[in-house]
Amino acid sequence: MKGVRSWRSPSLSKNPFLDAAGSRRFSSKSFTSFGCFILLFMLFLILITMKHQYEHIKMDNTWYPFASTKQRPQIMMTHFDHIHSLPRGIVESTSDMELKPLWETSTLTDKNQNHKALLAIPVGIKQKKNVNAMVQKFLAENFSIILFHYDGNVDGWHDLGWSDRAIHILAHNQTKWWFAKRFLHPDVVSIYDYIFLWDEDLGVENFHPGRYLRIMKAEGLEISQPALDPNQSEIHHRITIRNKTGKVHRRMYASRGSLNCSDASMGPPCTGWVEGMAPVFSRASWHCTWHLIQNDLIHGWGLDMKLGYCSQGDRTKNVGVIDSEFIIHLGIPSLGGSSANKQLSSESNEAAGPADQSMVTKVQGERVIDLRSQIRRQSTAELEIFRKRWDRAVRDDKEWADPYKHKKGANT
Ligand SMILES: *[C@@H]1O[C@H](CO)[C@@H](O)[C@H](O)[C@H]1NC(C)=O
Ligand SMILES: *[C@@H]1O[C@H](CO)[C@@H](O)[C@H](O)[C@H]1NC(C)=O
Ligand SMILES: *[C@@H]1O[C@H](CO)[C@@H](O)[C@H](O)[C@H]1NC(C)=O
Ligand SMILES: *[C@@H]1O[C@H](CO)[C@@H](O)[C@H](O)[C@H]1NC(C)=O
Ligand SMILES: *[C@@H]1O[C@H](CO)[C@@H](O)[C@H](O)[C@H]1NC(C)=O
């Protein structure tokens, strides 16, 4: 509130009416009535200003519905301080990823400005063929496409007919979560109803983006992923395995070792989460998820287990795996795909997070193993940091209550 008050006073003192009233002289007769008028007018002005600010605050709160109460005043103040010098009608708070023509009649390759969903993939030239197949499917459904090039090779894509319709972003050796945090800020992608943040090593022969979204909408899912065809996929978590007879599933069943997943289970790894290789987010869940991504933890391990907190309600209902539109997880180790060095059944140890990465496919022998194990070590370390950070945040935020805490069996 401090920011609000300090904002108000200079704007009032700058008001020409008040300045005039202060400096003018009046005959004592007319002063009383005129003074009254001025006083009333001032009160009126103050009221208007306060109402105006109240609207501002309301707006700021809706812009940041997921910021903790502790952070909110801070965010509000910076917004306030930096843009209050502009007339409100001119303020454009969001953006989009649409390519625009330089002039009205120019021949922009992509005339369709009616995108409703966005596909973003980290890519390397070695996966060109597969990515091409993926992008073709999504373009046919009028998706906006962003490619994050982690290997520095952008020119190698230009021969593809759709290359000019995609946005290309280049940063050497960066991961999917690094790119997403930098380039998919919720305000920048806010026109999209859905965000697909996918790895590059996914086979989409049995996947139709339009049908997928219709199911996601109809089922009320805020966060989802397509099921994996178990025959041809590298499986890390059994919840992702396709149920051939179903359309959607939201939980898995198991009772072996430490893993006991039943209808009573209320959280990951039994229900309420999806893996990191092919997540699809609604606008609201992406707004939340973006804030959950840590700037320094680029491998994103552990993130998937917390995605349920971004599901805008009950994670056992709003998070799910869609079976009727399924994909193949090729499991090619690269910066744009989940690594191949994860074990099956890693779900029994929560350590298995989303998309860990290992690069290099051409380098031979020991070097490959070395790089992968380096990245794996880093990912594991990051997971530990992420967990501690989460726990500390929970401890420190006295106003935050775990919405899933009271439920029994939250972890199995
Ligand atoms: C994609 O956009 C074009 C041009 O606006 C339109 O004709 C077509 O029906 C759209 N396709 C889908 C699947 O929405
Ligand atoms: C990216 O990483 C690979 C593998 O470690 C390395 O060979 C290459 O030099 C890196 N590229 C850049 C631009 O840092
Ligand atoms: C997997 O392979 C088995 C045996 O070849 C076959 O019966 C089954 O239908 C396949 N499943 C899928 C999902 O393709
Ligand atoms: C697969 O889906 C069907 C139909 O929804 C359901 O009856 C069956 O229990 C599911 N199987 C598994 C393994 O979840
Ligand atoms: C698994 O959990 C269910 C319900 O919580 C319980 O009834 C069952 O005995 C458990 N099974 C094992 C193997 O622990």
Q: Give the ligand with the smallest distance to the CA of 227.
A: 3
- Please give the distance of CA 138 from its chain centroid, rounded to a whole number: 19
Secondary structure of the chain in the HEC alphabet? CHHHHHHHHHHHHCCHHHHHHHHCCCCHHHHHHHHHHHHHHHHHHHHHHHHHHHHHHHHHHHHCCCCCCCCHHHHHHHHHHHHCCCCHHHCCCCCCCCCCCCCCCCCCCCCCCCCCEEEEEEECHHHHHHHHHHHHHHHCCCCEEEEEECCCCCHHHCCCCCHHHCEEEECCCCCHHHHHHHHCCCCCCCCCCEEEECCCCEECCCCCHHHHHHHHHHCCCCEEEEEECCCCCCCCCHHHECCCCCCEECECCEEECCEEECCCCCCCCCECCCCCCCCEEEHHHHHHHHHHCCCCCCCCCCHHHHHHHHCCCCHHHHEEEEEEEEEEECCCCCCCCCCCCCCCCHHHCCCCCCCCCCCCCCCCHHHHHHHHHHHHHHHHHHHHHHHHHHHHHHHHCCCCCCCCCCCCCCCC
CA 118 to ligand 1 centroid distance, Å: 15
Q: Which atom of ligand 4 is nearest to the CA of 247?
A: 5
**pLDDT score for 6:** 36
Q: Is 5 in the pocket of ligand 2 (CB under 6 A)?
A: no
Residue type, 326: F
Write down the pTM of the prediction: 0.77
Q: Is 262 in the pocket of ligand 5 (CB under 6 A)?
A: yes
**pLDDT score for 110:** 53
Nearest CA to ligand 2 atom 6: 173
CA 270 to ligand 5 centroid distance, Å: 13
Q: Is 112 in the pocket of ligand 1 (CB under 6 A)?
A: yes
**pLDDT score for 341:** 38
**pLDDT score for 113:** 58
CA 131 to ligand 1 centroid distance, Å: 22
User: Which residues lie with the beta carbon below 6 Å from any ligand 3 atom?
Assistant: 229, 231, 244
Q: Is 173 in the pocket of ligand 1 (CB under 6 A)?
A: no
Q: Is 411 in the pocket of ligand 5 (CB under 6 A)?
A: no
Q: 243: buried, middle or exposed (CB in 10 Å: 19+, 13-18, 0-12)? A: middle
**pLDDT score for 331:** 86
Q: Which atom of ligand 3 is nearest to the CA of 230?
A: 13
Q: Is 374 in the pocket of ligand 2 (CB under 6 A)?
A: no
Q: Is 262 in the pocket of ligand 4 (CB under 6 A)?
A: no
Phi (first) and psi of residue 251, to 5 degrees: -150, 165
What would the two tokens of residue 272 be?
């309420």
Per-residue pLDDT of the chain (412 residues; tens, 9 = 90+): 333 333 333 333 333 333 333 344 444 555 566 665 666 767 766 666 666 665 554 444 444 444 444 455 455 555 667 888 999 999 998 888 888 888 876 665 555 556 789 999 999 999 999 999 999 999 999 999 999 999 999 999 999 999 999 999 999 999 999 999 999 999 999 999 999 999 999 999 999 999 999 999 999 999 999 999 998 888 888 999 999 999 999 999 998 888 899 999 999 999 999 999 999 999 999 999 999 999 999 999 999 999 999 999 999 999 999 999 999 999 887 777 664 334 333 333 332 223 333 333 333 444 555 677 888 899 999 999 999 999 999 999 999 999 998 654 444 4
Q: Which atom of ligand 4 is nearest to the CA of 252?
A: 14
Q: Is 137 in the pocket of ligand 1 (CB under 6 A)?
A: no
What would the two tokens of residue 350 be?
């929560």
**pLDDT score for 25:** 43
Nearest CA to ligand 5 atom 13: 255
Nearest CA to ligand 3 atom 3: 231
Distances from the Cα of 321 to the Cαs of 215, 228, 234, 329, in angstroms?
11, 9, 16, 14
Helix axes 2-13, 28-63, angle to 10 degrees: 140
